[in-house]
Amino acid sequence: MLENEAKAQFYGCRSPVPLLQISRRKWHPPVLIGPPRALNNGAAIDELHSTVFGKTGRIFGHGHWNTVNARLEYGQLLRGKKRYEQAESLYRTFIDEMDRDGGPESVAVLCIFNALGTVYAKRQKLKEAEAILVRAVAGFRTQSGDRDERTLTAAFNLGGVYQDREKLCCAISMYHGAAYVFKDVMGISDKTTIAAFTSLAALCSAGRALPEAEEAYNLALRGLEEAARQSSMDDLILKLDLGVLYRDVGRLGAAEKLTREVYQGLKDARSGHAAAALTCLGTVYARQGRAAEAETSLSDALKDFATCETEYSATAYAASFSLDNLLRSHRRLAEAEAMYQRAWSSARSVGGLQHATSCTVADALSSLYKE
């Protein structure tokens, strides 16, 4: 599943492409038992492994919290150096030892489970990530309760794995539980609370649970405001997503006002996402019956996309496809055909001939030829 293609669907037309948001979900780091050591090179990491980790294992045993903490620190450092395979081996070996010895799943051990789940997810081992994170969530709930930060962190990470495996109902359930309890426990302005509400809003929008999506967007925006980040790029992108939602539920006046505000902010920031906001504004104009303004906005968006980096190529498809539909609705068929051809070329370059986006454009082009 390509995130760029999801952006294309989101900011322009609705097609069978799975939906994600521009606001990229980030893995929440595993909760450490103690403070991480500030080591900045591979030699220092190896020294930690050979001294601290080795000594704690010999002195306390591999299930003691000192040994677990050393493994967590070492694993974090390996991950920081993108040595994910070694981090996986470290965590996996520890868990195999615990399972073999029948040791208790203490909070410290459960932190290893959560850490291994995030490493599996990084390496796209999603089935394994789901299994170990389910185990972590269940264990944290038993040991620490539903409202403990570690329980919520593991649930948030599990929601991300469910999302990547396209188990959207399960992902929404995990994000919903984590987001609202994070709000109560850590506050609306906490960065993890904001991230959880952002992810929840994205999936609710994808599942067409639009009232729930609107509430989650507004809570995320409130969190950014209370964190004094109301003019940040994250704030602008969330407002753009909310503007798209307003458009889709028919609140076109609110969509126009919010999208105009976002477009100006992104334009002033010289962000490549300004063209995406202009695309959204064009589709709002089209739904309002303001054809000339819609055509101008979509044409200008395409010009802006032409100067952007390749990461916006799929979103440029949205502008192109939306302009196609506008031209077609006004019986400007020759121009529509040229634009459909352009959209098809863009979609094929991103997803290939068999992808749903390419097929959608091909179907539209075929139906145009039949008119």
43 contacts: CB under 8 Å, gap ≥ 6: none
- Taking domain 59-165, whether its CATH number is 1.10.150.20 is answered by no
Element (H, E) at 159: helix 149-164
Mean pLDDT by 10-residue block, N- to C-terminus, for the chain (371 residues)? 42 36 41 43 60 61 72 83 90 84 79 94 96 96 92 95 93 95 94 94 89 96 87 89 93 95 91 87 91 87 72 60 65 69 66 59 62 65
What pLDDT is attached to residue 105?
A: 78
Task: Give helix 126-144 / helix 107-122 axis angle, nearest 10°.
Answer: 160
Token pair of 275, please? 């063209």
Cα–Cα distance between 224 and 235 in angstroms, integer?
Answer: 7
Cα–Cα distance between 165 and 159 in angstroms, integer?
Answer: 10
What pLDDT is attached to residue 1?
A: 40
77 contacts: CB under 8 Å, gap ≥ 6: 36, 37, 39, 45, 48
Q: pTM for the full model?
A: 0.73
Ordered DSSP codes for 64-112: SHHHHHHHHHHHHHHHHTT-HHHHHHHHHHHHHHHHHHT----HHHHHH
Q: Where are the domains of the chain?
A: 59-165, 166-229, 319-370
Task: Give helix 168-186 / helix 149-164 axis angle, nearest 10°.
Answer: 150
